[in-house]
Structure 1
């Protein structure tokens, strides 16, 4: 029985077998609808061509047979449109691997589009802190990086985009310094063109700043108010007076641009929601990140999740657009048997990167210009920046008070690789993989 996961392999098999017929049809869009059912969309000019219709009928029959419940009956398998390329606009789409001229358009119930990788943004470097699973010290690492950058005189803008599990602001701001509003307030007010009412009151300056500044934009203000009700609306698209629909991720991009223009940071640190969801997609693919730090602990859940994501980028043909920005961070390296643990983490990371993101290098050939690295290459994106587990940094609630009496040597011992790497990206030295 055919299932969703067999749709693309079935399409490839059928269309490869119909290669000669495809040449008579011109560009083709494969529309996979919200229910996961597939049909072909062909240019209107093909409708009346005798040879083309014979070719179409053969393809439609083969697809109907192979796709089963994920296809349409033969007489409904093909649609004709006057502007086929326009069907892909505003929707996730990718080229069907190995077949020229065939574009798959995915109709999703959300605006998530992990396959649309925005170019690196102009202006201040943007660094995203991401993890497949929560509880790996991601927010703590970001707080330490922000503190270190400010110690070096940088103006640091920090965004807490873990909207469903907020808390980063508590590590950088005491309660009395938290702003009135947060990101959720802006996103909701923007829907009714009232975002200016909260904009100036959604940023607070951390008292941990010394030579530089840390500007913190929390998920919510000091009084969350009806946060659950707001959270149910932040993901909404906005329809302007001209009828143009603006996805929530584009609204978020607009907010970030406005924040950057207003506060003129040297570097922007973004705490992403863990997991493969709406917020993470926006943070990693839509905001023009210069660096994406992938926090990981060695375990099956970690590598299963990252492989799913890497494989999606590979299949969608966008791995080249994102892989140079990625960097693995080895979170919570244990004190006991730490060397053995780190070696296992590095090996698992290399396996995942090599299989889905690195270029294949035939045996006996030099790497050359290929994007590929040896397992032990310390400059490779799979080679973990280690963070040692430390009891004093394990509880996020204690971080702010801990920073008041922090020992810089201790920070170097625990977070040294992360801090050095973030500083390199902030200084424009982070594109070492290109």
Structure 2
């Protein structure tokens, strides 16, 4: 018998259950996957069949090898109310049996990545609208676009809060703040002290925002950088703080909730017209917190490259688990951004076509409120365009603040800024 690998383990488990005539176990139970990948099946006692379970346990244990629960009796067990005490989200998991697709329920326990298992947060927003800037890779102009939008809002008289959640590659703080404007603390300090249970967080919240002077206007740009002055002066401590900052307090509060608490604290202290969040590139834990947990619009930046769409395919395939008939509004809060785009319309159309295929495969419905045509400009796949401009390839606003205004700025970012301001309801 060949060794069963991770991708085959759940399907093999289901095949054995069906072959044994225990289909009710799948319909009325849920799989639990341990942090190391071991599987067990928890079944409601109302449909429990002890004889079937006794016969199945050794078969499953032998077939799954390292991916079966270590105690045979726990491979398949019954409970009065399956997983009633589990704090982990039960998600639908797609399994293909005999060429047919079925869905089983799965609790995926993880040592990391828990925020990717939480439903997208969508609720009425009391405070200012939030917008997350996300990309699958760096170098696509995500942070530069955020800076451009923040500058436009401030020039127009609006106050904007910028939060750097790219903790492993901090950037937006350096782009918007001179060294003399950097606050004492950064996001990493807040999350660290919160994780270790320091109740005196007010001092940090009171000194975690710097005021950018790069833009002249009636409005203000407040920046909460990843690293504050204490990290700049003691850089040898940054990594030690970073990985402790990610640590949740026993899983009680997800990272997204802790970041939301920081944003709420800052918004309570000052009036803002928008909160712009620079997310970590890729599929990091902090990325999930920003994309799913902050009740924000999410901009998906990318180039017209294979890497853009193959990377987003992993992300959207996972997000498809949250698609339900009752809860679909979060899908409308996603928007593709074609960054550093060529000026010719055929290249822009090709990017839109690939985005449409991606969203159609994983997030769109075939009919109804969440079905869209290729040419529907309001659809998530219909890309906002930021043109490629060599002036902004190595852009440093601190050294070249003049590039935050003028004809080149309007030509490159004008259409994007107009669309983003409309989404944020900023005139």
Give your verdict on TM over 0.5.
yes
Give how far 1:84 is off. 2.2
Alignment correspondent of 1:309: 315
Change (3 A) 1:24 1:341: closer
Q: After superposition, what is the alpha-carbon deviation per residue over 1:77-118, rounded to whole angstroms, capped at 9, x for unaligned?
A: 2234454232432x2430345768x53101101143324222
Distance 1:203 1:43 in 2: 51
On the 8 A contact 2:40/2:75 being kept in 1, the answer is yes
Alignment correspondent of 2:33: 32
Moved more, 118-127 or 59-68: 59-68
- 2:262 alignment partner, SS class: helix
Change (3 A) 1:428 1:151: closer
On the 8 A contact 2:184/2:229 being kept in 1, the answer is yes
Structure 2 unmatched ranges of 5 or more: 95-100
Structure 1 unmatched ranges of 5 or more: 361-366, 430-434
Q: After superposition, what is the alpha-carbon deviation per residue over 1:316-369, rounded to whole angstroms, capped at 9, x for unaligned?
A: 54693532111000011135xx43322222222122111111113xxxxxx5x2
Alignment correspondent of 1:176: 180
Change (3 A) 1:154 1:12: farther
1:21-420 aligned at under 5 Å gives the runs 21-23=22-24, 27-43=28-44, 52-57=49-54, 60=57, 63-64=60-61, 67-72=64-69, 75-89=73-87, 91-97=88-94, 103-116=105-118, 117-120=120-123, 122=125, 123-190=127-194, 191=196, 192-207=198-213, 208=215, 210-224=217-231, 225=234, 226-238=237-249, 245-289=252-296, 291-315=297-321, 317=323, 320=328, 322-334=330-342, 338-360=344-366, 369-396=368-395, 398-404=396-402, 406-420=404-418
Distance 2:138 2:317 in 1: 21
Distance 1:25 1:252 in 2: 37
TM-score by length of 2: 0.86
Q: After superposition, what is the alpha-carbon deviation per residue over 1:8-65, rounded to whole angstroms, capped at 9, x for unaligned?
A: 43355455566x744489842211111111111234676xx6xx21343455466446
Distance 1:211 1:346 in 2: 37
On the 8 A contact 2:33/2:39 being kept in 1, the answer is yes
TM-score by length of 1: 0.85
